[in-house]
Every structure is written in C-alpha cells, then in structure tokens.
Structure 1
Amino acid sequence: MDITKLDLNLLVVFHHLLLHRRVSTIAPLLGMSQPAVSSALGRLRVHLGDELFLRTQGGMTPTPYALQLAEPVALALESLQQALNVRAAFDPLSSTRSFTLAMTDVGEMYFLPVLVDALSKAAPGVTVQVVSVTQASLKDDMATGRIDLAMGLLPQLQAGFFQQALFRQKYICLMRQSHPLAADKKLTLDSFTQAEHVRIVAAGTGHGRVDVALENQKLRRQIRLTVPHYVALGDVLSHSDLIATVPERFADRTLTPFGLVKRDLPIPLAESAIHQFWHSRLHRDPGHQWLRQLTWGLFGDGQVPDEEKPI
C-alpha cells in the first residue's frame, strides 16, 4: 500500500489498542470519543485489508496480522517520538511516569523493598507496576512497550533485547535454625541427600538449572514437597524439617524474618548471573536510561562489568 495515503494517527490508535485492548480505555488517553476510535479502527481495517482486532469477552483480541505489525509499528512510533523530543530530558523529581517491571516472586522479595524506597526519595511522582516474568507474552509485551524492564535469570529473552548483568550469586541450602542439620557448620553429601527437600519449580526462569545440575551428578534428593514459586518457602521451612536449595540473596532476605539459617552446598553448583533486560525500542529513552542507571546503582555489585550489551 502507499503510505502517503495513510493517516499516521490511525497507527497511534492501533498501537494503543495493542497495549490496552479496550476502546473505552484508550479513548480518554487519546482525547477521542469511543465512536471516533471505532471509526479510526474501521478506516485502518479498510487500508490494511484485515480485521486487526476481534471483539471478545477479554477485550479486543489482535489478529495474527496485527501481532505481526505490532513491533515494527511500535518501533516506528517510538523513533518518531524520540526524534520530536530530542531535546527533552527526564526529571525524576517532577516526573509522574509509570514504569512496568517484570520479575519473579523471588525477585519481588529481593528488589522491591530497596527499589521502592529509593524511588520515594529520588522520584516521588514515579509509580511502578509489577508483573510476572512467567507470563507467555513477556517478549511481545516488552516489544510493544507494555513492559519496560525485566529483571532476573531469564534465558528466554534473546534477539532484540539489551541486557546488563547486575550480580552473580551462588546457590545455598536453607533450613530452620532448629533443624537437626543446622548444628553442623558444614553439610556432608550424605546428610544433604538423606534430608527431605522442597523443590521450587520457578517456571519461566533459569533457576531450574539446580535440578539439572543435581541430576547430572546423579544425586537423588528425597523430594517431600514441590512448589511453583518461592513465596511460601520461608513459612514452610520454618515449620518443618525440610531443606531447600535456593539463590543466596533470596536466602539472606528470609533468615531473620523466618528464623532460618543457610549452609553451603556439599557439591559444586554453577553461580547464576542476574540481569536487567530491556527492548531495543527503549534503549535511548531518557526516562528508561535513568531507571536502568538507578537499578544498576542499587543492585550492581561491581563484580560484573558495568556495560549494556545487545543480545
């Protein structure tokens, strides 16, 4: 089609429908009436020869063609916006911007207390929404701008994303202070394998490498309980004689509140590298650059290079 015959405002409507999926939501955001939004969508359907969105109980569901257009349209609009705002700067003290971060439940426990406190001082008007990294749409949501930054051990984020390593951490064994094994400062291989374990699946992250590593060494744990995430682990361990193999920084957050202790594993296990990830469309956005620098300053441990790399 001839792009000179296309009203670019229709692409703005298209982009916001992809983000919010409801005409009633985007109409006030764009300063339009709902009929005007519907009319714009109708004209774009004619131009592109596709329905683009179908009405469902969950809102406006994009067609395969609309999903194919999502990233290039978002990138084009973002590039145009950056060009028009080339002199614009981000002032954290006066900004009311909202950022959406994706992380695991263990990430929430480690990152959020520190990050929220820092934002309340450095950017009192900035708000944060947190979503799970385990959702299937993570990559698409980051590509279209629905998610600004993802944090964690996320091997599924590949082409089109930037990454910056924040820190490395080892895995340790966690148990309650009155656990029979807590009396020993060093776990033996026999005591580790004979104890009853909690296994954390943590789907959508790289922490499943623990199970793989243990299986590769032909070690069979006695799994008493399997859970999908870390959120209840502190309570479970504090009220039982179960033990768990977990990332050390998560363990450090749980020791005092739940009366737990940590011990080194009796076997070698590779450390995990925790990164922050973002899509290339936000790489030069001043507000996003500020957020990334803040995150690096809060959580970068200096043991990994302070550099941003495209994947």
Structure 2
Amino acid sequence: MDNSAASLADLPDLKLLQLFDLLYDVRNVSRVAEQLGQSQPTISIWLGRLRDYVRDPLFIRTPGGMAPTPQADALIGPCREILESLRRFTAWEIAFDPATAQRRFRICMTDASHITLLPRLLAHVRAQAPGVRLEAARIDGNTERTLESGEADLAIGYVPWLSGGIYQQQLYEQDWVCLANRHHPRIRTRFGVKQYCAEGHVAVTAGTGAQLLQQALTRERIERQVVLELPGFLGLGAIVQTTDLITTLPRHIGETLAQANDLAVRACPFPVEGFAVRQHWHARYHHEAGNRWLRGVVSQLFGGSR
C-alpha cells in the first residue's frame, strides 16, 4: 500500500465526526443515539473508536451530563470546518445566470430546424441571455462524439442512431403533409394517391426523415415523378410557390414553409411512418447548470408542440 492509501485509511469515519459534533452540543449519549437513529451501545462503540483515534476521552461524565475535555474544546472547531466543507462539496454547483452569462452554446440541428426552431430560440435567448452566443452545427456522424466531448451542447432532431451515454427528451411528434401552390389548378381539397402520382415533385433527399418517406413509397409501390431533387429545405418554399410542383415533408417544416410562402397544405394521401423530434445531450453534462438551462429553454419553447 502506498503512503497516500495508508493516510486515507488512517482518517476517521465521517460518522465519528458527526457523533462528535452532535455530542458536543447535546452532552447526552442516549439523546445522540436517538437523533442519529442508532442504538446506545452502537454510539458507545463509536465514541470508543473516536477516543482511541485522538487518544483522549473527549467527554467525561458529570452530574450535568457529558462534559468536554480541553482536547474536545480544541477539536470541535476543526471538526465542524471539515463537516461544513463536506456539505459545500456535496451541494457544489457552478452557477449559471442567463442574464449575466458570457458563453457560447453549440446546437446540432437539421436545416429544417434552422427554419422552424432557430428563429424562436434565438429571440428568446437574446431577450433572456444577451451575453449568450448560439452556434448551429450539422447533425452528422460526428454528433455523438461532439456531445461527449462538450464541443456541442445539444442535438435537436430525429437522430435514432445516437447510442449509449446520451440522454433524450421528446419535444413533439411529426406526421407528413404535402405542399402545393395555393392556386394550383389540379390540387384541391380532395387529394388522393392517383393525383399524387400524376403531379411533378420536388424531393428532399437528405435526412433520416427522407428515409422514412422513401420506405413508405416503396411499401405502397408509389413512383413519384421527381422533377427536382434538393439536399435540404433551402429554397423549397419559393420553388413550390412559383411552380405547379408539389412536395412531401414533415408537418412542422411543412406548415412553417406554407405560412411563409402562402402555400396549400394537404394531408399525405398514403401512410408514412411518423417520428418524434427530441433534444439529446450527453450524460457528462446532465447536471451542468448551463446545459440544464438551455435544455429547459428548448423544452419550454417546443415541448408538446406539433
């Protein structure tokens, strides 16, 4: 055993320090046993160990109770300092005050979230935490590593491949809709699979959600007439607004683009598996005050919304 291990073994048990602290005030072994939830013989054994450790009787029986010795009077101050330090240690937390914090938060998200979530999140953060800087990053194969390392604070989206060590909280569920020009000559309220197949489409090819759509098309044996493929949602609203092309996409981004570009929203005419948008963070930062604040803001703004 090395010297450090030996010195740790020589330290008194915490329960002996708690006994000394309480007995110094109470001066009665029976009452101390009751307050500590122990039997009187157990308290007597603990007191014997403490006496052996400091080589002093510490307390002497008198008609008025257990009177402390001069050694006890000298030791009670250091004992209480140790106990208070331990209390501060267990309650320690680096404070995070959004009103005064100067910090950058990096959030991994899809380009759909840039459109649907980021503007509202940014407005809230600027109002509540003017010194906080936000950075949006991509969700990709490095996302799990960046959450673990602390390079990224959160990942928001549909990321089912994130594995162990990652906490998650569901924000909202997604189903699927179709968007069309509000004045489209052929897209009316009744919109079925036959009409869907007859129209030209803009296909968004990136993201796990696009895989769910493709699986549904394959399952239903539907072949779209794809006129344009896009890697993301940038420009999609303007394209649908100025053409007779339609597009199929998750409801949250669909309704956001429809509102911004005056588009018609139609229910998808065939079943597509829905999914949940969640926020994800690594277990290392589960109790970190700043991360907790940011997660709380995201949950407050988007939890339970469609």
Counterpart Cα distance in 2 of 1:179 and 1:233: 16
Contact persistence 1:186–1:264 (CA under 8 A):
no
Aligned-pair distance for 1:302?
Answer: 6.8
Give the match for residue 125 of structure 2: 119
Aligned-pair distance for 1:87?
Answer: 3.3
User: TM-score of the superposition, structure 1-length normalised?
Assistant: 0.67
Counterpart Cα distance in 2 of 1:302 and 1:213: 25
CA change 1:122–1:202 in 2 (3 A) is: same
Give the match for residue 170 of structure 1: 175
- Are residue 133 (structure 1) and residue 139 (structure 2) matched? yes
- Are residue 98 (structure 1) and residue 104 (structure 2) matched? yes
Aligned-pair distance for 1:85?
Answer: 8.9
Give the match for residue 36 of structure 1: none
Q: How does 1:294-305 map to 2 (within 5 A)?
A: 294-301=297-304
Give the match for residue 196 of structure 1: 200
Give the match for residue 142 of structure 1: 147
Question: Alpha-carbon deviations, 1:132-151, whole Å to 9, x = none?
Answer: 113x3222111111111000
Letter in 2 for 1:109: I
- Give the 3-state SS of the residue equivalent to 1:165 in structure 2: strand
Letter in 1 for 2:160: P
Give the match for residue 108 of structure 1: 114
> Larger Cα Rg: Structure 1 or Structure 2?
2
Question: Alpha-carbon deviations, 1:226-260, whole Å to 9, x = none?
Answer: 11111121121112111110111111211233221
Give the match for residue 83 of structure 2: none
Q: How does 1:259-270 map to 2 (within 5 A)?
A: 259-270=262-273
Question: Alpha-carbon deviations, 1:259-280, whole Å to 9, x = none?
Answer: 2111011112222210001111
Q: How does 1:133-282 map to 2 (within 5 A)?
A: 133-134=139-140, 136-182=141-187, 184-203=188-207, 205-282=208-285
Contact persistence 2:212–2:272 (CA under 8 A):
no
- Give the 3-state SS of the residue equivalent to 1:181 in structure 2: coil
Give the match for residue 70 of structure 2: none
Aligned-pair distance for 1:84?
Answer: 9.7
Q: Tell me how many residue pairs correspond in the alignment.
A: 220
Counterpart Cα distance in 2 of 1:207 and 1:84: 47
Which of 279, 286, 290 aligns to 1:287? It is 290
Contact persistence 1:214–1:220 (CA under 8 A):
yes
User: TM-score of the superposition, structure 2-length normalised?
Assistant: 0.68
Give the match for residue 27 of structure 2: none
Contact persistence 1:161–1:280 (CA under 8 A):
yes
Q: Which sits farther off after the overlay, 84-93 or 234-243?
A: 84-93
Question: Alpha-carbon deviations, 1:198-237, whole Å to 9, x = none?
Answer: 111114x333211111111111111111111111211211
Counterpart Cα distance in 2 of 1:274 and 1:257: 22
Aligned-pair distance for 1:181?
Answer: 3.0
Counterpart Cα distance in 2 of 1:122 and 1:195: 47
Counterpart Cα distance in 2 of 1:278 and 1:225: 35
Counterpart Cα distance in 1 of 2:305 and 2:203: 31
CA change 1:92–1:242 in 2 (3 A) is: same
Question: Alpha-carbon deviations, 1:11-38, whole Å to 9, x = none?
Answer: xxxxxxxxxxxxxxxxxxxxxxxxxxxx
Give the match for residue 19 of structure 1: none
Give the match for residue 36 of structure 2: none
Counterpart Cα distance in 2 of 1:87 and 1:114: 29
Counterpart Cα distance in 2 of 1:206 and 1:140: 22
Contact persistence 1:202–1:230 (CA under 8 A):
no
Counterpart Cα distance in 2 of 1:146 and 1:297: 24
Identity of aligned residues (%): 31
Letter in 2 for 1:113: P
Q: Once superposed, what is the RMSD of the aligned Cα atoms? A: 2.0
Counterpart Cα distance in 1 of 2:159 and 2:305: 21
- Give the 3-state SS of the residue equivalent to 1:101 in structure 2: strand
Contact persistence 1:110–1:253 (CA under 8 A):
yes
Gapped runs of 5+ residues in structure 1? Answer: 5-82, 304-311
